[in-house]
Amino acid sequence: MFTKILIANRGEIACRVIKTARKMGIATVAVFSDADRDAVHVEMADEAVHIGPSPASQSYLVPEKIIAACKATGAEAVHPGYGFLSERASFCEALENEGIVFIGPKPGAIRAMGDKIESKKFANAARVSTVPGWLGVIENAGHAEKIAGEIGYPVMIKASAGGGGKGMRIAWSKAEVRDGFDRARSEAKSSFGDDRVFIEKFVVDPRHIEIQVLADAHGNALYLGERECSIQRRNQKVVEEAPSPFLDARTRKAMGEQAVALASAVDYQSAGTVEFIVDSEKNFYFLEMNTRLQVEHPVTELVTGIDLVEQMIRIAAGEKLAIKQSDVKLNGWAVESRLYAEDPYRNFLPSIGRLTRYRPPQEGQFGDVVVRNDTGVTEGSEISMFYDPMVAKLCTWAPTRLAAIDAMSEALDSFVVDGIEHNMPFLAALMQHPRWREGRISTAFISEEYPDGFAPIVPDSEEKAVLAAIAAAVELLRRDRLDRLGGRLAPHSGVLKRDWVIKIGKDYLSASVLEGMISIPMELGLSIDGGKALTVASDWRPGDLVWRGMVGDRRIAAQVRPVLNGLRVAWKGMSVSARAMLPRTAELERLMPEKVAPDTSKMLLCPMPGLVVSIAVAEGQEVKAGETLAVVEAMKMENVLRAERDLTVSKLKAKPGDSLAVDAVIMEFA
C-alpha cells in the first residue's frame, strides 16, 4: 500500500479523496493555484504545493507541474479526481515513465473509452447497442449540416473530449447546427484543449442511467448497480439518485453485465462508469464510458456501503477485489443534490463572490436517515470565476425513495449559504414537484416543467398560514426581547397584544394570539385568517438563521433573514417577504406607494460576472430579434446574449476582453 499520494485536483473531490486516504493511514499532498491558496483542500492535506496562476490551463491542467510536485514531496501515486487531467492518457503515461502510479485505469483503457469518438467505434465493434451517429472527424460547420441532415433532426453535437455538459449542443434545425457546431468547438477548445466534436441522433425524452463498475488488475470485474441522472439542465446533472425508480431487476442485470463486458474488453482496472440512455420501453443505448470517479459517486456508496475511493486506491496498489458480484446488495435509497453558485431567478447564470455564511446541515445518521455533505469550501471561502460553480453535494439516504426525498427537502431548508446566489431554492422546489416525487422523469424534465425558467413558488393558503405563523412567532419574540433590554425609555407594560396583521408578499393575513407565553422555547396558540387554532412550537432565538419547530402537525425548517421592517422567509422553494404589524400599522401601510424599478429596457446588461468574448454589433447597427449581440464567458461556459426584439444599437459600453460585474451595461439601444 502507498504511504503518500498526491491529489491532482481541487475543491470537494480533493477533500473527498483526502478523507479516505486519511482513513487508510496514507499521507496526502494537495496542489493549488493562486486562487486556491486558502482553499479547504490545502488545509486538509498533510502537504501542499503551489503549481501556478489561477487559470486551470496554467496550473491544474499542466502535467509537468503535477509530476514536479510528486518528485518534490515523494508522492508514490496520484489520484486525479474528476475533470482536469483525470481522463488524459498522456498524463497517465507521463506518470508511469517517472515511476509514479496513476490511481485510475491504464492508458490503453483511457484511450479506448475516454475519447467519445473512439469509444463509440470500440462499442460498435464489441456489439454494444449505440445511438446512430457520425463518428468521424467533422471538418467544418457545412460538413456538420450535411451530416445532421443525413441522420435526421434533432441531433446532439458533442465534444469528443468533453464532460460536464461543456462542448455540447442540441440542434433542431440547419441554422442551429451551424451555430451549435461553432459554440461546441469553442467551448471544447477552452475547456479541454481539444476542439474535435461528433454528431449523433438525439433520442427524445430519454433517461440518463449509468452503471458503476469496479475492475482490478487480476481479471475481476463487477457492477454496483445504477444511478439515475436524468434531472439535468443544459446537459449538466443537477440531482441524482440510486437506484433508478424506472429499472426492473432484469434490465438492471442486462445493463450491468453489458457494462462489465465492455470494461473487461478494454482491460479496465479501477472504478469507472458506463453511461446509457434509456427510452420509455427500457431499450438502452451505450452513451460513453467515464474512466474516472463520477461526481455523483456518493449515492452509490450510500446504497452499497462500498467506499469507491478506497477501492480505486487498493486496485492501483495491485490488490485483488475483496468483493464478488453476489456480495453487492442495494440497500435503501439515496439522493444527491448539487449546490451550484448560480442564480436560479436569472436563468441559472453563474454567481461569484465570498461565502459570508456557509453552514451545512449536520452530517451523520438520525434515526432512519443519513445526511452527508461533500464540499470543498467553508465560511469565508471565495467562489472564483476560474473553476466549476459547484459548491457542495448534499446527499441523503433513507429506507425508501420518498423518505430520502423528504430528508433531502429538510436538509436543503436547513442549509445556510449567504454571500452568493445559489440554486438551493430550485432544488428545494424540485423536491416537492409531483412528477419528480412519482419518478416520472427524463432528461427533458427541467425544460418541460420550467420552460420560462424558475420563479419563486407561490404559496397556497395553507402554506401562507405556515409562513405567517413563523413571521408572527419571530416578531413576538423580537419585540419581547427588545422590551427586556435595560435602559429603554419606555419599556413595554401590560398584556400581550392579541391581534396582528401579517403581510406575506402582497397579501394581508389576520393573526390572533389565542394562548401561550413569549419565551424560549416558545409554544403559542395562533389563529391565522380566522382559521383553526395552530400550535406553534420552536426553540428559535433572535439571530438564528434557520427557524426550526412545529406549526400545527408540520415539522418546519425555514431560512429567515432580517430585511427592512420585516424578514424574508424561504421554505420548500418558496421565498416571501413577511412583516408582522399591529392592525392600525397595517391599515396605514396599505396606503404607502410602491417603489417602481428603473427602466432598463434600452440596455443590454451583463447577466452574470464574466469575460466579454466578443461583441457582434457596431454602433448604429440595426439588429433583428434573435440575432447575437455579444458572447460572455463565465465559469468555462460561453453564454450567447441575443436581441429580444428589433432594435438599433446606439452606444457600446464594453469591448472584448473586458471583465464585467453582474448588471454592468454592455450596450445601449436607441
Q: What is the DSSP string of 476-527?
A: HHHHHHHHTSTT-SS---SSPP-EEEEEETTEEEEEEEEEEE--SSEEEEEE
- Give 490's pLDDT tier (boundaries 50, 70, 90): low
Residues pairing with 214 in the sheet: 222, 271
Q: Is 341 helix (H, G, I), strand (E, B) or coil?
A: coil
Active site residue 288: yes
The dihedral sign for the CA sequence 417, 418, 421, 424: positive
Q: Is 223 helix (H, G, I), strand (E, B) or coil?
A: strand
Which residues, other chains included, contact 596 with Cβ-Cβ below 8 Å and sequence gap of 6+?
none
- Give 136's pLDDT tier (boundaries 50, 70, 90): confident
- Give 485's pLDDT tier (boundaries 50, 70, 90): confident
As a whole number of Å, the CA-based R_g of the chain is 27
- Domains within the chain, CATH numbers bracketed: 4-103 (3.40.50.20), 108-129+207-331 (3.30.470.20), 132-201 (3.30.1490.20), 339-430 (3.30.470.20), 461-483+495-589 (3.30.700.30), 603-669 (2.40.50.100)
- Average pLDDT over every residue of 309-320: 98
Looking at residue 201, its pLDDT comes to 84
- Judged against a pLDDT cut of 80, whether residue 499 lies above it is answered with yes
Structure pTM? 0.84
Q: Which residue has the cell 400545527?
A: 552
User: What is the percent of the chain where pLDDT is above 90?
Assistant: 72
Is-contact 153 174, C-beta < 8 A? no
Looking at residue 310, its pLDDT comes to 98
Q: What is the rounded average pLDDT for all residues in the chain?
A: 92
Is-contact 583 508, C-beta < 8 A? no
Is-contact 182 142, C-beta < 8 A? no
Looking at residue 669, its pLDDT comes to 94
Active-site residue (options: 187, 228, 288, 342): 288
Main-chain dihedrals φ then ψ at residue 612, nearest 5 degrees:
-75, 115
Identity of residue 65:
K
What does each C-alpha distance from 390 to 423, 440, 495, 555 come to in angstroms? 10, 26, 51, 29
Q: How far apart are CA 624 and CA 164, in angstroms?
A: 33
Q: How far apart are CA 534 and CA 552, in angstroms?
A: 5
pLDDT tens figures, 92-122: 999 999 999 999 999 999 999 877 777 877 7
Q: What is the DSSP letter of 219?
A: S
Q: What is the DSSP letter of 327?
A: G
What does each C-alpha distance from 515 to 12, 257, 499, 528, 549 come to in angstroms? 48, 64, 12, 13, 17
Identity of residue 566:
G
- Give 351's pLDDT tier (boundaries 50, 70, 90): confident
Q: ∠ CA 139-143-148 to the nearest 5 degrees?
A: 130
Is-contact 79 8, C-beta < 8 A? yes
Q: How far apart are CA 48 and CA 44, in angstroms?
A: 9
Of 277-291, 394-408, 487-501, give the range with the top mean pLDDT.
394-408
Q: How far apart are CA 546 and CA 528, in angstroms?
A: 22
CA-nearest of 411, 415, 447 to 335 is 411
Residues pairing with 397 in the sheet: 334, 370
Looking at residue 72, its pLDDT comes to 98
Looking at residue 497, its pLDDT comes to 83
pLDDT tens figures, 12-38: 999 999 999 999 999 999 999 999 999
Is-contact 266 109, C-beta < 8 A? yes
Residues pairing with 628 in the sheet: 642
Looking at residue 487, its pLDDT comes to 74
Is-contact 132 200, C-beta < 8 A? yes
Looking at residue 491, its pLDDT comes to 60
- Average pLDDT over every residue of 299-315: 98
Identity of residue 428:
A
The upper half-sphere exposure of residue 47, i.e. CA atoms within 13 Å in the direction of its Cβ, equals 16
Of 128-137, 328-337, 634-643, minimum mean pLDDT range: 128-137
- Judged against a pLDDT cut of 90, whether residue 283 lies above it is answered with no
CA-nearest of 513, 509, 548 to 533 is 513
